[in-house]
Amino acid sequence: MSKIKIVLHSTPNELDQVTWIIDQLKRCSLYVNPNNFVLDFTLNVSDEDVDWNNSTLSKQYCIDKFNLLFEKSPFINENKVSEEPTGCNTVRRNALRADDDITHIIGLDPDLLFPESILFYLENAISNITEKYYIVTPQIFQLWDESWDIISHDKYKNTPRSEKLWLSDPYMLFQYEVSDVGLKKLPYFKFDGGWMTLYSKNLLKLIDIPDSLGHYGLDDTFVSQCSNMLLNNNYDINQYSLENLIVMEDRVYRSNSMSPFIKMKDKKSDKRDVSHQYFNDELQKFNDRI
């Protein structure tokens, strides 16, 4: 029996997006047994990340709003509030290191749009994979360089690239009926950590997300590069894509209604700098270890 933990990090200005995520997941729950899924969602209210003195809304209001969202969640809820600085690296690191009965971890960002059948197909994929170490990803619309084509929908592979596609109406993904969903083994690892990416917990425990990478940035790049190292060293490891099941970040309609009332301290670039500083050293350590 698989036990899947969905891990999400959010800040107070993203609370409307978290509301939207939980609404989407509630629709997903119609196709699965919700007791097989844990929502491990963390709200970061750290004074280091939020300027509460210059925010209109109070810290307690945001905490109460966040906790109330889970009253409509049919899943096992592990909603957490962190007074300490956190980030997506932190919550994913904590999830993979937890001594629990979780078998798989899904990374989810607050701005993702996804079909309501996605949990059903991710869970079904697990039952069809025999490797100990693996990752399963939905498909995307084409973006950036050609290395992403292996997880792009067939209509968009090897076509002229345009940033406008990624910035277009995200609801275009519903033009494509979720049908004939296939599980395709990929030649190498390529994914984003927050696009409903499903990891076998065995893989994440083998690789880890080193403490030196800090709270934010490059955790998914680290896992993908380490996975490719494992693949090249003949480990029984693979990435699979769910063909014809598409996700997309909402860069058009995502709600920013909380932003005027919450003053965030711009720390993301500083946190990413920390991750960059130690990234290559950690890759070398992992290479030496395997």
224 contacts 230 by C-beta, under 8 angstroms: no
Distance between CA atoms of residues 244 and 179, nearest Å:
7
Element (H, E) at 276: helix 268-289
* Cα maximum dimension of the chain: 55
Helices (H) and strands (E) in the chain, counts: 8, 11
Contacts of 96 (CB under 8 A, 6+ apart): 105, 201, 204, 205, 208, 209
Instruction: State both tokens at 22.
Output: 């939980």
Give residue-wise pLDDT tens across range 2-34.
999 999 999 999 999 999 999 999 999 999 999
137 within 8 A of 241, measured Cβ to Cβ = yes
Assigned token pair, 21: 């995520």
Q: Write out pLDDT tens, residues 238-263.
A: 999 999 999 999 888 877 788 899 99
**pLDDT attached to residue 173:** 84
Q: What is d(CA 19, CA 68) in angstroms, rounded to the nearest whole number?
A: 10
Q: What is the pLDDT of residues 159-211, one digit of tens each?
A: 677 666 777 888 888 888 888 999 999 999 999 999 999 999 999 999 999 99
Q: Smallest Cα–Cα separation from 211: which of 278, 269, 288, 266?
A: 278
**Distance in Å from the first CA to the final CA of the chain:** 29
- What does the pLDDT read at residue 162? 67
State percent of the chain over pLDDT 90: 78
Helix (H) or strand (E) holding 205: helix 201-207
